[in-house]
Amino acid sequence: MAVSRTDVREMSRRLWRRGTLRVRHAVERRTGLLAYLAVLGPGIIAANAGNDASGIASYSTVGARYGYTILWVLVPIGLSLGLVQGMCARMGVVTGKGLADLIREQFGVRWTAVVMLALLVANGGVIVSEFVGIAAATELFGISRFYSVPLAAFGIWWLVVKGSYKRVERVFLLMSLVFLGYIVSAFLARPVWGEVGRQFIRPSFSLDTGYLFMLIVLIGTTITPFMQVFVQSSVVEKNLSKEDYHLVRADVWGGTTFAVVIAFFIVVASAATLHQRGIEVESAADAARALAPIAGQYAQALFATGLLGAAMLAVGVLPLATAYSISEALGVEKGVSRNFREAPIFVGIFTFLIAVGAFVAMIPGLPVIRVLLVTQFINGLLLPIMLVAILRLAGDRNLMGEYANGPVYNALAWLMVLVVSSLSLLLVAITLFGG
């Protein structure tokens, strides 16, 4: 059959159009990926900083004591964390202000002063515990804390004070990769995956006091006030706008999912090894030591490396979150890209917390458990206040406009706040009265 020149031209046009569309779709996909990578950071860093030294200790203890039976709790915890972090990130892109800024403007100076004082004391105590975590991790590799703690403190201080926000964010994101070691540790432990899956999707409950206490502790170590402060301030410092919100939301939920997955594998690794042999642990370092004769030296090394990376990340994020919040409350200049002359209070608070935290962590015979109990107590009191403030701000139409919480989102968020606040206050009561 003869083919006319017109047919040939038409076929050429169709082929050219198809090729153009394919190239356009490829460019759009690549542009979308690059846009996400440009926004990537605040959500992932904040969520992973929540998996700090005390968090890893809690997950290890849960796995060692109760096996896989508490795995199901990670699902509601992850949803709650995503909701809270999402609201803070949304407030950051809509208002261009940090959380402490909004609290001061909407609720007054007195409430802001109380919240900031509590945040300063609580975060200061947790920073000490993170340096203790660094010491414990490096001692597993035979390095004295009198070398590792000052070096870690100076390294984090130099990175933040002498670097730009972009560089700090990249380093924090690289630190987050050490958490992947816990996934490998879990597989080295050789759990019965069928049993893991059943316990994960089939909730079980116990009225045992220890079981209830660990449920409460899991929530307290996963959802903490400094995370909300950091994610909102980071979004503001990156100058992200409403047009970036869908990417910011993806970053928040991606970070939340990653953090919960890591928590899942820490529990699995501990349950498959320590729980099966009735071994109790009280710290992440204990768990790493106990893994060696059961799952091998590689499992211990990966667990210890994860602990070191987690503590280093938290040591960077916690002082930053505190410096952000206090600077916002005072209405002074802030930002990682600012030097001491431009933002003396911001840089001064960060430096002070790093220096004091490192010094206290090296004191021989430091009562770490008592420090953690005090900070846990303060965080337990502070969290309900912060959550209620976040809900009121995120639902304010005058402040948020069309980005304010909708009815369904608001109902879910208030339910979450009620449950988390009740459990947080219960943890305070247990801490106070030793129940």
DSSP string covering 208-231: -HHHHHHHHHHHHHHS-HHHHHHH
Mean pLDDT of 122-133: 87
Residues 333 and 340: beta-carbon distance below 8 Å: no
Amino acid at 409: Y
pLDDT tens digits, one per residue of 277-287 = 877 777 777 77
Of the candidates 410, 412, 406, 389, which has an alpha carbon nearest to the alpha carbon of residue 104?
389
Amino acid at 280: E
Residues 134 and 311: beta-carbon distance below 8 Å: yes
Q: How far is CA 71 from CA 52, 77, 79, 254, 380, in A?
A: 18, 10, 14, 20, 22
Strand, coil or helix: 362:
coil
CB within 8 A of 224, min separation 6: which ones? 50, 379, 383
Task: Choose between 222 and 347: higher pLDDT.
Answer: 347
Cα-trace Rg, the chain = 24
What is the CATH T-level fold of the domain 40-433, as seen in this structure? Hydantoin permease (1.10.4160)
Residue 11 pLDDT: 55
Residues 43 and 254: beta-carbon distance below 8 Å: yes
Q: Where are the domains of the chain?
A: 40-433
Residue 7 pLDDT: 54
pLDDT tens digits, one per residue of 59-72 = 888 888 888 988 99
Mean pLDDT of 399-406: 90
What is the overall mean pLDDT for the chain?
Answer: 82
Residues in the chain, how many? 435
pLDDT-based confidence at residue 25 (cuts at 50, 70, 90): very low
Answer whether residue 252 shows pLDDT above 70.
yes
Answer whether residue 241 shows pLDDT above 80.
yes
Task: Choose between 417 and 147: higher pLDDT.
Answer: 147
Q: How far is CA 297 from CA 280, 303, 331, in A?
A: 19, 10, 51
User: Of all residues in the chain, what percent carry a pLDDT higher than 90?
Assistant: 22
pLDDT tens digits, one per residue of 27-53 = 444 455 555 555 667 888 888 888 888
